[in-house]
Amino acid sequence: MPINVEKYFSLKENGRDVNNMVEKDLEDLPGVGPSIAEKLREAGYTDIMEIATATPQELSTIAEVGVQVAARIIAAAKDLAEIGSFVSAKEVYEQRKKLERISTGSSALDGLLGGGVQTGAITEFYGEFGTGKTQISHQLCVNVQLPKDQGGLEGEAIFIDTENTFRPERIHDMAEQLKLDPEKVMNKIHYARAYNSNYQMLLIEKAKEIAKNHPIKLLVVDSLTAYFRSEYVGRGMLADRQQQLNRHMHDLLRFADVFNAAIVCTNQVTARPDVLFGGGELTKPIGGNIVSHSATYIVYLRKGKGDKRIAKLTDSPDLPEDECAYMITQGGIKDIPS
């Protein structure tokens, strides 16, 4: 599992905060004028780091410039981004102390996640219909607004909806359960409906603009792969789908890093016929290795009896595989009464 948190955007070296790098415009690069910058942004290259890690051939095609010109642009981006700089493990350790967690509303589920949903990371909840993925997403949008001593971060949330699953009525109920003003809570949740995969990816750029003026500590994508799954059909489209999905995941990671926000993605599942007679989980999340390698924490949800749900942590860089039970009630996510 790759370290996602501080790789490019959260470390300081020689007194320089790398977060400032994302404030640089593409036009600051030698050879990049408004026309080339527009072509790059349309192709999804929106910051200096993305240019610095591109190949000359790739950039040449997108920007419609010669390979040598593209190589010079990339070299300038690498200088500006200071790629190749190293920091000590102690600096990484100190930076990780700034990471925070949002309570899910269930102490059992919080414990499974090491204290709640972590900032600076992607947490993926996957499972079949009705297992509670969207309910957890709604609850986190409310809980992130709580004071820190109550499991929140005193922040705001962004909710990107791809399947028309967002219900402000549920936000209202959850807020009332926590004795919060429902209207104030709803005003601190920034909602957008995506209508295709390109729009979904564009909304991450819009989210960055919102986060510059609001204390965004949570970004939800519900669900992550729905449009990618329906728009890129067949094995012939698989490579294109995974390439776009990879770019989307890295955009989310950058958002998490820059704003020290928690990213929560829900995901659909597909059947695993290879294990029907061999034991193991019968379903797996959509997106393959692209999603599984980018997500920091992966949680499989399944139904129990009645309101009971089971959560199983299937992948994490620092926590053991384990599972717990919780409940979905009218008032939100709760522990099962003992």
Q: Tokens 């990471």 identify what position?
A: 99
Q: What pLDDT, on the 0 to 100 scale, is given for residue 14?
A: 33
Confidence of residue 240 (pLDDT cuts 50, 70, 90): confident
Give the model confidence (pLDDT) of 123-169 as tens digits.
999 999 999 999 999 999 999 999 999 999 999 999 999 999 999 99
Instruction: Give the lowest-confidence range in 3-17, 109-123, 165-179, 241-255.
Output: 3-17
How far does CA 135 lie from the centroid of its chain? 17
Residue 4 has pLDDT above 50, yes or no: no
Distance of CA 190 to CAs 37, 62, 203, 284, 313, Å?
28, 32, 11, 30, 28
pLDDT at residue 132, rounded to an integer: 95
Kind of pairing between the strands at 308-315 and 322-329: antiparallel
CA torsion 136-325-121-208 (nearest 10°) is 0
HEC profile for 19-85?
Answer: HHHHHCCHHHCCCCCHHHHHHHHHCCCCCHHHHHCCCHHHHHHHHCCCHHHHHHHHHHHHHHHCCCC
Q: Which of 22-26, 277-281, 324-328 has the highest mean pLDDT?
A: 324-328
Evaluate if residue 193 carries a pLDDT over 60: yes
In this prediction, residues 20-46 reach a mean pLDDT of 79
What is the pLDDT, as a whole number, of residue 279? 53
Q: Distance between CA atoms of 193 and 107, rounded to whole angstroms?
A: 31
Q: What is the pLDDT of residue 84?
A: 62
Residue 276: per-residue pLDDT: 53
Q: Which residue has the higher pLDDT, 137 or 245?
A: 137
Residue 278 has a pLDDT of: 52
**pTM of the predicted structure, to 2 decimals:** 0.79
Mean pLDDT of the chain: 87
Alpha carbon 30 to chain centroid distance? 32
| pLDDT, average across residues 90-103 | 93
**Is pLDDT at 173 greater than 70 in this prediction?**
yes
Range with lowest mean pLDDT among 60-69, 186-195, 230-239, 282-291: 282-291
**Residue 273 pLDDT exceeds 80:** no
For residue 90, pLDDT over 60 is answered with yes
Give mean pLDDT, residues 293-304. 93
**Residue that wins the pLDDT comparison between 318 and 41:** 318
Over residues 221-231, the mean pLDDT reads 92
Domains and CATH numbers, the chain: 12-81 (1.10.150.20), 99-334 (3.40.50.300)
Whether pLDDT at 24 is above 80: no
- DSSP for 248-301 reads HHHHHHHHHHHHT-EEEEEE-EEE-GGGTTT-S-SEEETTHHHHHHH-SEEEEE
| Arithmetic mean of pLDDT, 229-246 | 85
Q: What angle do CA 10, 254, 150 make, to 5 degrees?
A: 75
The single-letter DSSP state of residue 236 is: G
